[in-house]
Amino acid sequence: MPIIRRDTSAWRLQVWVSFIVAISLCGIGLAYLPGEDIHRAFMVMGYVFCLSTAFALAKFVRDNEQRPVDTPMWKMVVWGGFFTAMALTGWGLWDLGVQPVWKSYLLVSWLFLISSVFTLAKTLRDAHEADLLEARLNGRRERAEAATE
């Protein structure tokens, strides 16, 4: 009987807490960002764009880990979207007319957010794959028991 490896509940808690803390730090930094509303709106859009493309990239990389299952065009869209989101957000942060301490805070919270997205995506996908494997093994076991009766 194969062993199904699962993450510990402590790890899952840490991953979720890290993601929530990262989202909160970004939200707080953007909510209190000094300056014009248009600059704050641009940064919020950039962070949301980065967040969604990081999830898409994590899924793409995991789906294509063992063999390519997506088209080359989709690969270009996913990677291009991620790099475009990161570049535009980085440019907006660089060009933002605020004190360096604000830029530093926003940069660190933004990178923490992206890092926590990749970790959360992997943790969720690992749990899903473990559930599928367990269901498959239980189905085989049930079929084998039914055949012996």
Instruction: Give Cα separations from 85 to 1, 50, 89 (angstroms).
Output: 45, 5, 6
Distance CA 23, CA 36 (A): 22
Structural domain boundaries enclosing 36: 10-140
Write the single-letter amino acid at 76: M
| Residue 148: inside a domain | no
* pLDDT over 80 at 133, yes or no: yes
Q: Whole-prediction pTM value? A: 0.83
Distance CA 34, CA 119 (A): 31
The answer to whether the CB of 60 falls within 8 A of the CB of 106 is no
For the record, the structure tokens of 65 come out as 């880990």
Number of independent structural domains in the chain: 1
Kindly report, residue by residue over 111-125, the tens digit of the pLDDT.
Answer: 999 999 999 999 999
Any alpha helices (H) in 37-99, and if so which ranges?
37-63, 72-95
Q: How confident is the model at residue 1 (pLDDT cuts 50, 70, 90)?
A: low
| Residue 48: inside a domain | yes
Distance CA 54, CA 8 (A): 24
User: What pLDDT, on a 0 to 100 scale, did the predictor assign at position 53?
Assistant: 97
| Residue 1: inside a domain | no
Q: Which residue has the higher pLDDT, 68 or 3?
A: 68
User: What pLDDT, on a 0 to 100 scale, did the predictor assign at position 112?
Assistant: 97
For the record, the structure tokens of 10 come out as 């402590």
